[in-house]
Chain A
Amino acid sequence: MRKFFPVEDLARDSRFSKITIADRMADQRTALNVNVNGDADGPSKRTNNMRLVPSRRDASDGARGLMHGIFVGEIQALEGAGRTCWDFETGTEAPFALKLDMARQCWDEARHVEISVKLSDWMGSEIGQYAENTVLFEAACSSDPVLRLAGVNRALEGLAIDVFTTMKEFGDLAGDQYLEFCEDWMLADEVTHVKMGSDWLRKITENDPERRKKALEFQNVVDKLFSYGGTRSDSQESPIGLARRFRELAGFTDAEVEDIAEVSMQALNERKVVVGQIREAKRLADQSAHK
């Protein structure tokens, strides 16, 4: 088995369809609010409150889609932690204790896959019903274990804290105790994983400020990618909120949380500009078609 495994070779059974983040952002149906019947709902029906709550018009489908996203994200997180166990020589490239932590993370992520499969079934969706975005594993492909920790444990698992907090609140508001219970357990694990990443990042780069800087820059890039064009931010226009309290528990400083909030808002605003352009182009196209 080779060291360093390319994202395009991730092994999946026939139910899965892989896409990249570019594919997803280029999909005009997202911007035009195409509904399940293939009809564009249009800008007039888009509200400024997109937070995933049970009262949202498309809450059921949104929650199912998000749960499927969690499911495939957990698979990739499992694969990423597993590759860190294999890709680096113990001692010379990665400390033994770090690899033990990654092995522990494998077990946790494997349980999360099990939980999310059962929750998806509970919510009425099937494996492969939604496409799989492989951006999460891409963050786990760096040749420097510290960059992997920054990208996966701090950025990706940090996003997982935000997602699980949103889903837990969704379960609470919807009166779905089964969902709320499971999300709370997964949230506990994710706080542990983020803390693991924060602790290792500080420890390994203690005497290497250049490496630490590089790792934090990489984390910023991944954080922006994981903001998915504004999917996660403090704004109610984002389906997923920023879970500030749990991020503090996980070892993020106040300044780091503020940075993520800012990056997420930037991503949201950039996405709004793109959505506006797509809608304007569609309006003009519709206009000329009617002439």
Chain B
Amino acid sequence: MADPYKPRAPFAPWDRRTLPGIFDVEESARRVGNYKWTEMKLFEALGGWVATVPELDVKMRLGTHCYKHAWHAELWHKRLPELREMNPERLTAPANDAMVRFIEAMTEPEGPELTIEKLVGVYRVLIPRFIAAYTYHLNGTSEITDAPTIRSLKFILQDEFDDWRDGEMILQSLIETPEEAARAAAHMQKLEAIMIEAGGIAGIGTLGSL
């Protein structure tokens, strides 16, 4: 065995983490507040929709996904005080007014014949936006100073990918005719237009600027 008292480098040769990150504490907290607000709106909507969809498999998926997004909101809620926001409610806010309108438009469908619209809003618009915002945060934040956020982002991204896959497969099984495909596309276009105005989950600059 090697001499235990021989000095070793604090970072092993294979540990390539670096200090710099593109977010300071305030910016990180602001984004986390936007994530929490949006995850909350999403879990509430998924829970509310369970009673409105007649398809049994969709009911069960919505119930399962409802919890996952509630858990994400809880993770962000707990992270906020660690980012110097002692009143987490203060930063639990939408990125802008367009984001509020997006959620209103996404949660508008209620009738039992509108399952496609409900799922398109979540799985073809909002969750891809979550994946994008979280990936940008994961790739940009300091790997050392912001390690707790990174840990949460990795857990959450795993859920987002799993849920996106579930939702997309259900949608593909529900869309059986060109007319239904057109319905899905029209609803997606309507919601995307509002999301473009919002700039993403964390507002303009969610994915930085090119």
Please list the residues of chain A having a beta carbon within 8 angstroms of any beta carbon in chain B: 1-2, 5, 9-13, 75, 78-79, 81-87, 90-91, 96, 99-100, 102-104, 106-107, 109-111, 113-114, 117, 127, 137
Contacts and interface: CB of A to CB of B under 8 A. Distances in A.
A91 B107 CA distance: 20
B26 interface: no
Nearest to A6: B51
Contacts of B43: 85, 99, 103
Given A2-B110, A78-B63, A87-B48, A13 B54 contact: yes
B51 A85 contact: no
Given A5-B52, A85-B66, A100-B70, A11 B112 contact: yes
Given A78-B59, A82-B49, A85-B43, A103 B54 contact: no
Contact of B50 (A12, A79, A96, A104): A79
Contacts of A79: 50-51, 59
Contacts of A87: 48
A86 B52 CA distance: 12
B59 A75 contact: yes
Contacts of B166: none
Given A9-B52, A113-B63, 16 more contacts: A1-B45, A1-B107, A1-B110, A13-B55, A75-B56, A82-B62, A83-B48, A85-B43, A85-B46, A85-B70, A96-B40, A99-B44, A103-B66, A104-B67, A107-B63, A110-B59
B51 A106 contact: no
A90 B40 contact: yes
Nearest to B74: A100
Interface of B: 40, 43-56, 59-64, 66-71, 73-74, 77, 89, 107-110, 112
Q: Chain B contact residues: over half helix, strand or loop, or mixed? A: helix
Contacts of B89: 91
A86 B70 contact: no
A110 B57 CA distance: 10
Nearest to A103: B70
A11 B64 contact: no
10 contacts: A1-B49, A11-B112, A75-B56, A81-B63, A82-B47, A82-B62, A85-B70, A96-B77, A106-B63, A114-B60
Q: Chain A contact residues: over half helix, strand or loop, or mixed? A: helix
Contacts of B54: 11-13
Contacts of A107: 63-64, 66-68
Report which residue of A11, A90, A96 has the largest number of chain B beta carbons within 10 angstroms of its beta carbon.
A11
A199 B29 CA distance: 32
A141 to B, nearest CB: 10
Contacts of B77: 96
Contacts of A12: 54
Contacts of A109: 63
A17 to B, nearest CB: 14
Contacts of A82: 46-51, 62-63, 66
Contacts of B48: 1, 5, 82-83, 85-87
Contacts of B73: 100
A82 B50 CA distance: 6
Contacts of B62: 82
Given A13-B56, A100-B73, A110-B64, A86 B109 contact: no
Contact of A113 (B49, B59, B67, B74): B59
Contacts of A81: 47, 63
B51 A11 contact: yes
B51 A10 contact: yes
Report which residue of B43, B66, B71, B110 has the largest number of chain A beta carbons within 10 angstroms of its beta carbon.
B66
A71 to B, nearest CB: 10
Contact of A84 (B45, B47, B107): B47
Contacts of B53: 11
Contacts of A114: 60
A197 B58 CA distance: 27
B91 to A, nearest CB: 14
B46 A99 contact: no
Given A78-B63, A82-B66, A113-B59, A106 B52 contact: no
B67 A83 contact: no
A202 B210 CA distance: 54
B47 A102 contact: yes
